[in-house]
Structure 1
Amino acid sequence: MSLDLAAYFRRIGHDGPAAPTLETLQQLALRHPGRIPFENLDPLLGRPVALDLDSLQRKLVQGGRGGFCYEHNLLFQAVLEAIGFRVTGLAARVWWGRAAEAPAPPRTHMLLRVDLDDGPRLVDVGFGGLTLTGVLRLEPGVVQATPHEPFRLLVQGDGYVLQALVAGAWQTLYEFDLQPQQRADYEMACWYLCHHPDSRFVRQLLAARVDGTVRYGLLDRAFSVHRPGQPSERRTLDGADALFEVLETRFGVALDGGMRDALRRRGVPH
């Protein structure tokens, strides 16, 4: 199956130009995480995660599902390249939620470098609760606005650190360098995330989506709503039916009967 660009555009609600311009890149980077959710149901339930283009399209475009970083950004890379962008896959060590003094985590996150005529940009449509909804210049030391939080890049050694301004404080999301990655690199890291007992993807239910200026988040049964400049709203979902309803209506995840049964059998802790 070759890339069905028209089907992808319908999936994300894009009816604008398909030209390799900054404006197009900005529109796609915003619309993608608004229509295709971040979620880890397959590794959580022991289902295989395939990274070939056919599988990504069947799941994320045709199947009404979401995925995690490799699924999102590999699909996004294929879309951008089909339009005519020059794209390089990169890898990052995720520090979000980890203590600064903790041992360095493995490079298990994927992001994208896009080279435009006026310089390189960074995009990342697969970072969960703080997924980048804008396009960043590869320019350290300056605050860059996005449709959601402000972001900035800092130089660290031979690479960079990405930070977001969250509740008035700069939070480190991940560190990365500009070494191009190959599909084999992503396949190996994806296998780790889907099988290693220390991977949170096999231990916790995770979901995220943006809806206008709102961010939705889910951690097991803890559902959160984040609005700019307002205190976050949080509630615990009571029972499987409430969980299914939120997954379908707030995150847009198409749940089949087998997934519902598997989630009931597994049980999702509070």
Structure 2
Amino acid sequence: MACFPMIKTEERMTSLHASRSENEPDFQQRDLTLFKILSPHVCRALAISEMLDIRAIRSEMLENTLNGLVAGVFLTARDGHVVYLNHAAECQIKMGNAIHLVNNRIVPTDLAARNALAKAMKEAARDDAVRNMGEHFVAIPAGFGGGYVATLLPIESTQRHGIFASFAASVAVFMQDPVQATCMPGEAFAKLHGLTGGELRVLLALSQGLSGTEAADMLGISEPTIRTHLQHIFSKTGTSKQLDLLQLLHHSTPPIRTLEPAH
């Protein structure tokens, strides 16, 4: 038998074997020389295949993660062409009330927003953008009110050759609808601040825009009980007004979209 190792990692080891039966002649020097010539080419081919497989898995994992976000994610090349958009971004484009894709570029319907976004993307695509650029936000209004807030994130040159290399991305644009409702982090928020079940129910009722009277009717408790729960919630969360409390809850909302029921 003659063999050589091809891949050796902490998880696995792979080798190539050639064997002959007892009735066949032993391997000669010429056979071993051919084996030595062949071995580096086989190892190189397997190493390339291994790298491509890992890249494909990482890209798929990244794509699945981005598709779970509420915000639209647009990855753009240096010249502004969109090289990737997640599920939320596709929906925003289909709605067409604030942004369109024209020649594979993000084009807001509002002229002022169009110019502001183009300028911001040009700045974000610069090689020194990560060092010199702070947070950059652009308002993208819709024609009939509302719209999106675009947040631009320059991708470091080192990252452009890493996990984002398959997308050839230079700038990440996150397009968020400020009023888009997402699932409230009720149980986690309650555990974080030590709220009781009754206090959490009051908080979630108020977060839906109900008044104290309406919340009391819905929960089947008195208004004084609502006020008592609210005072306890203020104390536990370090807030003093209902507006501040609801803002704290809103800021704790996860940036992930609710999964659609299977049909």
Q: Structure 2 length as normaliser, TM-score?
A: 0.24
Greater per-residue helix proportion: 2
Relative to its length, the structure with more strand (as a share) is 1
TM-score, normalised relative to structure 1 = 0.23
Q: Which has the larger radius of gyration?
A: 2
Higher relative contact order (CA 8 A, sep 6+): 1
